[in-house]
Amino acid sequence: MVTERLPIPFWLLALFLLVSCSGDAGRFEQAVETAKLGMTGLTVTSLRDFSQRGEKQQFTALADLADGGQEDFSARVNWRVSDPAIGSIDANGLLLALANGAVEVIAEFASFTARKTLTINDATLESLALDTGDTVVDLCLPARLGAVGSYSDGTRREIRDLVDWSVDSANASIVNDGSDKGKLLVSEPTTTINVTLSKDGVAKTASLLVQDNLQAIAISPASASLKVDDQQQFQALGDFLNREQEDITANVKWSSAAPTIASIDGNGLAKGIAAGSATLLASCGGKTGSAQVTVSGNGGFIVQAVYRDRTATFQITVDAGSGLAPPTAPGGSATANCSI
């Protein structure tokens, strides 16, 4: 028997021997991964370059790839700071500002190192401004709002993730935590809404105009056939005036006209419940799109045989609603006994 061995690139073999001698197998694994991905560099980003003592800020490590793209490596790099007395950072890149001064945030992966400097001081917040780029938002299309803080040291900082957000209209919602903090969605027709942002006793309220350019909503696919317990992902598409069709699956309110036949969750994922037909609805901004779902049983039998002495028991289970189950059998099952 002849075993064919694939040639190992010399540089990879040399690197393996080097790290094996040093006992750093983790660095070898990282080096192999960078070669497989075509990684060319590492970049560290953050929402802002300034923090106050006691604030937390998320840093992100992005692997630069040969094809021009980037991949989030935040949970895979080794994070450290130049001065742990000024700031501490966890394994996922979340930094806590501890003292005044400048600190370098450093991410390392294989032979790549990236750095970014963060300045920490006790400047106080004096005023807030809403940063939208425009005072008009679209009905049924989310808008990512920004918050700019003016501080006593003369700096202006983007602090969207640090302020508390609220909106005064029941026709709108705004995200107040997580990575989508500050994302606004107006889901029902209205003329204006007021958005308030606040931090450290400083608040700002701004009025935004709402424009209704939504012409219609279509659901894709328009029809589907499912079996009981099967699932189907649906997509909501919005036709807007003077723009291309938009995917608004996450913005609409999903519902089923016959939830005992087919259900659908808030993300547009439908599930067959029982045999029959159901209309699925996607609504936003006073417009509604629909799709038809037909649910059928699989028509199959589950047969179990249990032998006890000379008696065999056969239990036949049929999908509910398939037309094969006895009308008096709850849940679509029947049991027959016979002797051998």
| Structural domain spans, the chain | 38-121, 125-211, 214-296, 301-339
Rounded-to-integer distance, Cα 222 and Cα 30, Å: 47
CATH number of 38-121: 2.60.40.10
Q: What is the dihedral of CA 172, 177, 179, 180, to 10 degrees?
A: 0
Q: The domain 214-296 belongs to what CATH superfamily?
A: Immunoglobulins (2.60.40.10)
Q: What is the pLDDT of residues 223-279, one digit of tens each?
A: 999 999 999 999 999 999 988 899 999 999 999 999 999 999 999 999 999 999 999
Q: Cα separation of 264 and 270, whole Å?
A: 4
DSSP letter at 82 equals S
Residues paired with residue 209 on neighbouring β-strands, in sequence order? 136, 192
Task: Collapse the DSSP code of 134 into the 3-class scheme (helix H, G, I; strand E, B; otherwise coil) and give the result.
Answer: coil
Residue 338 C-beta-side C-alpha neighbours within 13 Å: 5
Beta bridge partners of 186: 172
**C-alpha to C-alpha distance for 212 and 264, rounded to whole angstroms:** 27
Q: Give the C-alpha separation, 164 to 177, whole Å.
A: 9
Place of tokens 């106050």: 52
| For residues 287-301, average pLDDT | 83
Name the one residue in this structure whose structure tokens are 């604030």: 55
Per-residue confidence (pLDDT) for residue 26, from 0 to 100: 63
- The topology (CATH level 3) of 125-211 is Immunoglobulin-like (2.60.40)
Q: Report whether pLDDT(313) > 60.
A: no
The yes-or-no answer to whether 125-211 and 214-296 have a common fold is yes
Q: What is the pLDDT of residue 19?
A: 47
Amino acid of residue 340: I
